[in-house]
């Protein structure tokens, strides 16, 4: 098989890249290790920046997001038993985020790809990438017991943190930056109305908590938990009791509980691989960087990477190498700013085992300053809605 761009991974990065390339008249094939149902079963992000919403529109898949997504102009910070609203829309001159689950984004992209009759190979085994620094870049995989090879001009490594593409880069050619956090997030999805209309980020001495949602009838909650915790350690009742302990009294009182429809534990890390290009191999999304989900940046960074990459490939086929030559540096400027914001917000809102009494007071003082200063709240607001894209 031959194509212009071979995309490894059918998560949001790979699927959005494929959709944008199709719109630009560039041929691409996606090779995915898992089944489509498995990809859809992973419950992850929930908040889209405007730049991500714009890219979904550009890819022609924004209709359901506009119909079912929830525009949010603010968030609430809860600490010391009270909640403080950050008026994001007012502080950013009218910008907002859209609450629309990653699962739905992925579903919309998969549907569009099927309607357009584009090639996606699911349940591909033994995927490997070859000669990406030579003249004949190729992707090999086994499907149904038969080995296949895709000859291409470019390989897009959209295969996430545990993928094969970054792992195939010689160690001397790549620099890794990482911070692993001493805790995890326990997430729960329930068919219950959200506790408030907007998200609540809670700092509590028992640990961080986040109240989010997927719709007016479906809620998504997170609790900071130990890295040693297992989902089986947390009954639904134990989850709801702990969440009530961490919420302010009014929110705890209005919390509607119900059976979980999904529960999962995710470790938190900050991670960046530099550069994001190796010859004909380009990394995008979680394959290149990971942020702790506190700042709701992971999915949005993946989208902005592939927005730049799709444009760069289209420019290449139109005769300019400028886009592919500057892809890595342009992505990394935005990635590092999102890494900073996600690290800062995580450090502010979570309990750290080595945080002494002074550290607790520093967190409390920073939160008091944050909600009392227009300048400080503006910094939070403009990072939360997403910094401008470089074109």
Q: Binding residues for ligand PHB, per CB under 6 A?
A: 45-47, 199, 210, 212, 220, 293-296
Among 53, 110, 158, 255, binds ligand FAS (CB under 6 A): 158
Q: Is 285 in the site for ligand FAS (CB under 6 A)?
A: yes
Biggest alpha carbon–alpha carbon distance for the chain = 64
Q: Is 384 a catalytic residue?
A: yes
**Complex with ligand PHB: residue 18 or 293, whichever CB lies closer:** 293
- Comparing every residue's Cβ against ligand PHB, the nearest one is 46
Token pair of 217 as six digits: 């009838």
| Cβ atoms of residues 218 and 189 within 8 Å | yes
162 is catalytic: no
Site for ligand FAS in 34-63 (CB under 6 A): 34, 39, 44-46
- At residue 254, the 3 state secondary structure works out as helix
Residue 123, both tokens: 């349940």
Residue 259 annotated to the active site:
no
Please say which residue, 104 or 108, places its beta carbon nearer to ligand PHB.
104
Q: Which does 118 bind (CB under 5 to 8 A by kind): ligand PHB, ligand FAS, none?
A: none
Q: Applying CB under 6 A, does 293 fall inside the site for ligand FAS? A: yes
**Closest distance between ligand PHB and the C-beta of residue 90, in Å?**
20
Among candidates 56, 10, 55, which has minimal Cα distance to 29?
10
70 in contact with ligand FAS (CB under 6 A) = no
If residue 215 lies in a helix (H) or strand (E), which one and from where to where?
strand 209-215
- What, of ligand PHB, ligand FAS, none, does residue 74 touch, CB below 5 to 8 Å by kind? none
* Cβ at position 45, least distance to ligand PHB in Å: 6
The binder of 294, among ligand PHB, ligand FAS, none, by C-beta within 5 to 8 A per type, is ligand PHB
Contacts of 84 (CB under 8 A, 6+ apart): 76, 77, 78, 371
Report strand pairing: 75-79 vs 200-202: parallel
Binding to ligand FAS by residue 11, rule CB under 6 A?
Answer: yes
Given 12, 22, 72, 181, the catalytic residue: 72
Catalytic residue among 289, 293, 327, 350: 293
How far CA 357 is from CA of 115, 202, 204, 205, 351, in Å, comes to 58, 19, 14, 11, 11
Strand partners, 267: 184
The reply to whether 12 sits near ligand FAS by the rule CB under 6 A is yes
123: left (phi over 0), alpha (psi -120 to 50) or beta: left
User: Could you give the string, one character per residue 164-203, with x where binding to ligand FAS holds by CB under 6 A and - elsewhere?
Assistant: x---------------------------------------
Is 152 a binding residue for ligand FAS by CB under 6 A? The answer is no
Give catalytic status of residue 289 as yes or no.
no
Q: Is 286 in the site for ligand FAS (CB under 6 A)?
A: yes
CB of 358 to ligand PHB, least distance (A): 27
CA distance 348 to 365: 10
Report the chain's C-alpha Rg in angstroms.
Answer: 21
Neighbour tally for 70: CB within 10 Å: 18
Opening angle at CA 249, ends 358 and 366, nearest 5: 30
Contacts of 135 (CB under 8 A, 6+ apart): none
Catalytic residue among 201, 221, 222, 327: 201
Total residues contacting ligand FAS (rule CB under 6 A)? 33
73 φ, ψ (degrees, to nearest 5): -105, 5
Do 287 and 161 form a contact (C-beta atoms < 8 A)?
yes
State yes or no: residue 8 binds ligand FAS (CB under 6 A). Answer: yes
d(CA 14, CA 220): 25
Provide, rounded to whole angstroms, the least separation between the CB of residue 313 and ligand PHB: 30
| Rounded least distance, CB 98 to ligand FAS, Å | 12
Q: Which is the catalytic residue, given 292, 297, 327, 350?
A: 297
β-sheet with 97-99: strand ranges across: 47-48, 97-99, 70-72
Q: Examine the residue annotation and report whether 249 is marked as an active-site residue of this protein.
A: no
Please tell me which residue in 100, 222, 327, 384 is annotated as part of the active site: 384
Question: What residues act catalytically?
Answer: 72, 201, 293, 297, 384
Residues that bind ligand FAS (CB under 6 A): 8-14, 31-34, 39, 44-46, 102, 124, 127, 158-160, 162-164, 266, 285-286, 293, 296-299, 302
């Amino acid at each position: 098989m031959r194509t212009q761009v071979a995309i490894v991974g059918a998560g949001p990065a790979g699927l959005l890249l494929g959709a944008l390339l199709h719109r630009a008249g560039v041929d691409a094939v996606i090779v995915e290790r898992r089944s489509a149902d498995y990809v859809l079963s992973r419950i992850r992000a929930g908040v889209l920046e405007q730049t991500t919403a714009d890219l979904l529109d550009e890819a022609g898949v924004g209709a359901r997001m506009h119909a079912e997504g929830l525009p949010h102009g603010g968030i609430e910070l809860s600490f010391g038993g009270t909640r403080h609203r950050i008026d994001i829309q007012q502080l950013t001159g009218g910008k907002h985020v859209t609450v629309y689950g990653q699962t739905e984004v992925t579903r919309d992209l998969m549907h569009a790809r099927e309607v357009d009759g584009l090639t996606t190979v699911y349940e591909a085994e033994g995927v490997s990438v070859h000669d990406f620094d030579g003249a004949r870049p190729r992707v090999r995989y086994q499907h149904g017991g038969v080995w296949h090879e895709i000859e291409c001009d470019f390989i897009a490594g959209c295969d996430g943190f545990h993928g094969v593409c970054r792992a195939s880069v010689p160690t001397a050619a790549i620099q890794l930056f990482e911070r692993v956090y001493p805790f995890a997030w326990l997430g729960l999805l329930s068919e219950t109305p959200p506790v408030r209309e907007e998200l609540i980020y809670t700092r509590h001495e028992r640990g961080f908590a986040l109240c989010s949602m997927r719709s007016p009838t479906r809620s998504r909650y997170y609790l900071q938990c130990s890295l040693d915790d297992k989902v089986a350690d947390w009954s639904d009742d134990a989850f709801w009791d702990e969440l009530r302990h961490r919420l302010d009294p009014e929110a705890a009182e209005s919390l509607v509980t119900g059976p979980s429809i999904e529960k999962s534990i995710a470790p938190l890390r900050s991670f960046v691989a530099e550069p994001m290009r190796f010859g004909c191999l380009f990394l995008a999304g979680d394959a290149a960087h990971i942020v702790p989900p506190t700042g709701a940046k992971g999915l949005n960074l993946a989208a902005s990477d592939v927005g730049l990459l799709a444009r760069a490939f289209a420019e290449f086929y139109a005769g300019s190498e400028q886009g592919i030559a500057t892809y890595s540096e342009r992505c990394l400027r935005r990635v590092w700013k999102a890494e900073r914001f996600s690290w800062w917000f995580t450090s502010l809102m979570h309990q750290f085992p080595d945080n002494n009494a002074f550290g607790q007071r520093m967190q409390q003082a920073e939160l008091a300053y944050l909600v009392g200063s227009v300048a400080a709240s503006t910094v939070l607001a403009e990072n939360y809605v997403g910094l401008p894209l470089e074109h």
